[in-house]
Amino acid sequence: MSKAKEFGPPPNPRGRRLDAEELEKIPHIRAKAPAKYAWAVGTAMSRFLEELKNGRIIGRKCARCHRVLVPPRMFCERCFQPTTEWVYLPGTGVVETFSVSYIDTNANRIKEPILVGTVAFDGAPPHCGIMHYFGEVSPEELRIGMPVEPVWKPKEERVGSVLDIKYFRPLKK
């Protein structure tokens, strides 16, 4: 018979779990760290945002497949060719998708819903648009394929952001 010494499980090299009483003894602070960041948008998005500030929608045209990309990109993700031309669009378009949300941007429940979805712009191919808010329309009236137009903030309030467009509303005829 072997007289080997019996050992328990090997020690956890990462330490051990602390109970609530032990945790209270460790100095700590609960705080929200301010998350500040900078983001370089590049050539195409910089121009797109500047044009929004001026109340215009702009895209880039692919030399090979002739698609107009909105928001603009410097290369076409379909045929991998550089885009070569800036194209101004009328700003009108159609609702491609939408959602009716009873939760606001801070995850709070709300009584009046937020209407948000994707707009495909006239002069650009389907499925090539931006996500945005819808206004001046009820959830019951909003539908896929509905023609819409942008409602811009006053010029002096625009800063070069997609939110320079307040929302899209049904196209007035």
Average pLDDT, the chain: 89
Confidence of residue 33 (pLDDT cuts 50, 70, 90): confident
pLDDT digits (tens, 9 = 90+) for 134-156: 999 999 999 999 999 999 999 99
Over residues 91-109, mean pLDDT: 93
Tokens found for residue 172: 């007035």
Confidence of residue 92 (pLDDT cuts 50, 70, 90): very high
Of 147, 152, 36, the closest CA to residue 95 belongs to 147
State the Cα–Cα distance between residues 48 and 65, nearest whole angstrom: 21
